[in-house]
Structure 1
Amino acid sequence: MKQVIWCYILCLESLEVISLKDYYWREYYFNHLPVDAVPGGQNNDTAFYVGKVFIANYGLFPTKIIPDEVNVEVGFRGIRKTQEFVWILCSQRRSSFKWVKTKQATFNLTAATEFLVNGGIESGRWLKIGRIKYKGVYQIGKVLQNEGKMYFVHGQREYVSKCYEVLAFE
């Protein structure tokens, strides 16, 4: 028993702990952008932000928030648009976020070496936050942790990619 406790203490000492205060999710309302919102990137002259949305009976999904657009879009059994149950990623340390290039074949290595931001849960599976530039436009989508593939919405379709960026916190 002493060996197990000793190992537990050593393991805890070697872990890097991210404080809950380092980043957090705020409820988002159309056109009410918090000053501490984490940018996800920019398409042309329009900034977008990292968000997540709850779809009843299905889960919590990463999404792209564009302040001038009423609805957010998420792909799950088709394209869903909503303005309800939306949260936006916020932090006092916005410069501590980075997009890490990865692909399906190396996703597990990326997940082991970077502190990836949780973006939700779908049918009991953890989701990470992915970003891809598709047809000249950045999109935010879900990365299924057990598959390493990214799913994202563009136009009226949901697409899958094996190469993308994933959001990490330093």
Structure 2
Amino acid sequence: MLRSNILILLQLLGIQSYSVSDYYWRDYDGKIPPDAIPADNNNNTYIGQVYVHLYGLRVGTIIPGYREVEYSCYGVGKTDTMIKILCATESSKYVWLRTTANTFLKDTCGKSPIVSGYDRVCCGSGILNIGRTRQQGRSIIGNVAAYNTVTLWFYYPLNGREIRDPPNTEYEVLVYRNTTSKSNYLNEYKNFDLLG
């Protein structure tokens, strides 16, 4: 329980845990900062983080020009206050890894999925990662329930409902890559989508 509270405090203060230290959350005021990590190749969507009272930190899709973020949290919510946007010194160090709820642990073994928030309601160790799907011609950001060691479900908002696809449905998780050689990168991350 103490470890869980420390993680929440670190996230709220903008201090990053794990070995990834070059990403951070900036206050979002409706303008996209130049160091924001895009959620797609066209810079049409970005990754937002919101605090949901009594539930914890969640992520959702930021669309340039809009101040409101829609997120999933035991249903769907929207907010235009207390929004942060994911930024990094080098966005090229972040890639989308294809996975499923059933294969997440195997697919991310040795990788660094980005911690996006915390679910206070679940089992007491509710770490969330950043997930992405493509629906209705657009990228949608949601929460990967990384605290479940059996099936790591991906939850996202769509048409006013919270969606959890069947366990074999493919989604993507944002991971950090710290590979300096292009040939090493191509071999190690051949199943990744470069922020695409």
**Considering the TM-score relative to the shorter chain, is it more than 0.5?**
yes
Q: Provide the C-alpha distance between the structure 1 equivalents of 2:171 and 2:24, rounded to a whole number of angstroms.
A: 24
Secondary structure of the corresponding residue to residue 159 of structure 1: strand
The equivalent of 2:25 in structure 1 is: 25
The equivalent of 1:155 in structure 2 is: 159
Aligned residues: 150
Quick check: 1:128 aligned with 2:129?
yes
Secondary structure of the corresponding residue to residue 58 of structure 2: strand
Cα deviation per residue 1:61-89 (whole Å; 9 max; x = unaligned)?
Answer: 01111121121001123221101111111
Using the size of structure 2 for normalisation, the TM-score is: 0.71
Using the size of structure 1 for normalisation, the TM-score is: 0.82
Give ranges in structure 2 of 5+ residues lacking alignment. Answer: 1-17, 178-196
Cα RMSD, aligned residues only: 1.7
Moved over 6 A (4+): none
Decide whether aligned partners of structure 1 residues 57 and 95 sit closer, same or farther in structure 2, where only a CA change above 3 A counts: same
Structure with higher strand content: 1
Q: Provide the C-alpha distance between the structure 1 equivalents of 2:43 and 2:86, rounded to a whole number of angstroms.
A: 18
Decide whether aligned partners of structure 1 residues 74 and 116 sit closer, same or farther in structure 2, where only a CA change above 3 A counts: same
Matches within 5 A, 1:11-160: 17-18=19-20, 20=21, 22-30=22-30, 32-41=31-40, 47-123=44-120, 124=124, 125-145=126-146, 146=148, 147-160=151-164
The equivalent of 2:10 in structure 1 is: none
Query: Deviation at 1:93?
Result: 0.6
Query: Deviation at 1:111?
Result: 3.0
Query: Deviation at 1:136?
Result: 2.5
Secondary structure of the corresponding residue to residue 112 of structure 1: coil
Kept in 1: contact 2:60–2:72 (CA 8 A): no
Give ranges in structure 1 of 5+ residues lacking alignment. Answer: 1-15
Query: Deviation at 1:119?
Result: 1.0
